[in-house]
Chain A
Amino acid sequence: MSDSSIPTTAIAIAAAVSEGSVSATDVLEAHLAVIDHGESEIHAFNEVMVDQARATAADVDARIAAGETVGPLAGVPIALKDNMCTRGVATTCSSKILEGWKPPYDATAVERVTAAGAVAIGKTNLDEFAMGSSTENSAFGPTKNPLDTTLVPGGSSGGSSAAVAAGFAPLALGSDTGGSIRQPAALCGVVGFKPTYGAVSRYGLIAFASSLDQIGPFTTTVADAATLFDVIAGHDPRDSTSIPETLEATVPHLDDGVAGLRVGVVSELMGTGDLAEGFEPEVLAQTRAAVDALEAAGASVQEVSVPSTIYGLSAYYLIAPAEASSNLARYDGVRYGHREAGAANTAGMMKASRTAGFGPEVKRRIMLGTYALSAGYYDAFYGKAQKVRTLIIDDFARAYEHVDVLISPTSPCVAFPFGSKDDPLSMYLNDVATIPSNLAGHPAISVPFGAGRDGLPVGVQVMGPLLSEARLMAVGAVLEAANPGKATA
């Protein structure tokens, strides 16, 4: 932040705005100035919501002037991944098929951050329909990594991670289907958290793979991630997969520490055996250093095998495309989005609209999913993948009999150059460490820890069983305090 009177973390901004020492409008204008300076090079946003954000900030200031208590995110700018519906503001999924579409309603997560006083500042770029690990699949051009603009920011929520890393907003929301929050967080040197499946409502999140998708925060600190998670989490009757039980707040557990905690290092994700290929030695070294830091803080450490994780990638790349092929059938040019002109009949119009509207990666996954679900192949592909999902859940359950959390690298590598993974399969291999948590529905957090190749940030992943978010925040806070790369990240 160039304006030194504006605090950098969401917690500090909300405190300052709430006590009246700085206005939400001043906070917003300071961030708009940073965006104005850097956005043309980074391209984190599909749209900066300048007018709407100014109106929201003015409303926050008016409420504070009237003596109201605004909420835990009072006046904090937040960037929203452009696959979350915002009423009256274009929501595109970075796809030509939804270009210019303005939803008639807000996503529940958007409603909740706004109710907590946050100021939505813009819609962030993503791989088209969240399918990718680099934002190179965006129909509107890639986002660049603010740490080095020749490198990808990761994906699919690359716009959200870049926005936080570049100081465009202290908070962002992303969605994580196979690692799309955690991997870009790792590559941009910020905190990224995927909650338990069902902890955050998916209402208004445009569906990719419905049994895997989950909304979560990008932040610069673990405490901010806990604060934002506590705001967006909780039951929503508009999402039938939303967890009905009351969820534990995570903020009170930030200082719990790790004394006596049992930490497991996932041997299959530490560059040995079948998955050895692709794990950079510096990434593995930092992950081991992070484990040592937890041990020094009082945790006990053991190596743990989660054998079926090596099949996670295969199961994921059948299940996610299968669900996507079904979810994306709704884009047919009838009710919203792009309609190709000139077709003589409805079926022809639908086919022409889909062909013109979807990019190559989306078409690839729709075809893969259609194939995996088609007669004669369902049992061999989709049915088998769902059984592998059970094996992974069972393996995790066995591991959690002996340990409280599991550790691995978030991404096998640090940020990579544009165009360097042009073969789809090599891009998919990026998700090998993040996918198992999605298949199991478990929470996982990526915390920056030290530097890897070329001084680029490394993300360490902490995984836990269902609804262990408070524990993950406590572990994340310890790693954050011990992070040797703090000064550069």
Chain B
Amino acid sequence: MLTTDDVAKVADLAMLDVSAEELATFTPQLAAILEHAADVEALDLADVAPTHHPYPLVNVFRDDVLDDAMSDVRDEALAAAPDAEAHQFKVPPALGEEM
């Protein structure tokens, strides 16, 4: 059975802050969905191969040549960034103090 501790750990892995109140809501909801999904336990799947992809394509390659189509959009892409400097994305210190 899924506990609030499980959900808190998953939220942390998913880079989400979840309040105690939200944990109390999310935990039974997620537990109900997992419980519904447990109906597949009734199936014998030992010899069944998994399907990762619905259309049988493998090893899709292209020629190793530069595609210029996006070369003129660097400024547009950087303009959409929350912060940029010297044609690069800018973030707070990676090794700064803990919040």
Contact = CB atoms under 8 A, between A and B. Distances in A.
B86 interface: no
B2 to A, nearest CB: 8
Interface stretch (A22-30, A380-388, A473-481): A380-388
Contact of B99 (A244, A348, A428): A348
Given A368-B30, A383-B50, A346 B92 contact: yes
B49 A387 contact: yes
Contacts of A364: 26, 29-30
A347 B16 CA distance: 11
Contacts of B1: none
A338 B81 CA distance: 9
Nearest to B13: A370
Nearest to B17: A355
The SS class assigned to the B binding surface is loop
Nearest to A318: B37
Contacts of B97: 344-345
A314 B37 CA distance: 4
Interface residues of A, number: 74
B57 A198 contact: yes
A370 B33 CA distance: 14
Contacts of B48: 387, 390-391
A333 interface: yes
Given A237-B62, A346-B93, A381-B37, A197 B54 contact: yes
A329 B52 CA distance: 20
Interface string B8-20: 0011011111100
Contact of A428 (B33, B53, B80): B33
Contacts of A344: 92-93, 96-99
Nearest to A349: B92
A427 to B, nearest CB: 11
A386 B70 contact: no
Given A345-B98, A387-B48, A367 B26 contact: yes
Given A348-B98, A370-B13, A393-B54, A314 B30 contact: no
Interface string A233-266: 0000100110110000000000000000000000
Contact of A425 (B33, B51, B83, B99): B33
Contacts, number: 189
A386 B52 contact: yes
Contacts of B83: 339
Which one of B26, B33, B80 has the greatest number of beta carbons of chain A within 10 Å? Answer: B33
A241 B55 contact: yes
Contact of B16 (A102, A313, A363): A363
Given A339-B82, A364-B29, A387-B49, A241 B70 contact: no
A351 B17 contact: yes
A325 B14 contact: yes
B92 A343 contact: yes
A345 B96 contact: yes
B36 to A, nearest CB: 6
B10 A374 contact: yes
A393 B26 CA distance: 33
A367 B11 contact: yes
Given A314-B36, A317-B37, A332 B15 contact: yes
Given A241-B57, A339-B82, A350 B98 contact: no
A466 B49 contact: no
A418 interface: no
A347 B10 CA distance: 16
B66 interface: no
Which one of B11, B22, B49 has the greatest number of beta carbons of chain A within 10 Å? Answer: B11
Interface in A69-108: 88, 101-105
Interface string B56-99: 01001010000000100100110011110000010111111111
- Closest A-B pairs by Cβ, 4 of them: A441-B54, A345-B96, A386-B50, A339-B82
Given A313-B36, A345-B93, A391-B48, 9 more contacts: A325-B14, A346-B96, A360-B22, A381-B34, A384-B40, A385-B40, A391-B43, A439-B51, A466-B54
24 contacts: A104-B70, A243-B55, A243-B57, A244-B57, A311-B39, A313-B36, A317-B33, A317-B37, A334-B82, A336-B81, A339-B82, A344-B92, A345-B98, A351-B15, A351-B17, A354-B14, A367-B16, A367-B30, A371-B30, A383-B50, A385-B37, A388-B40, A388-B43, A391-B45
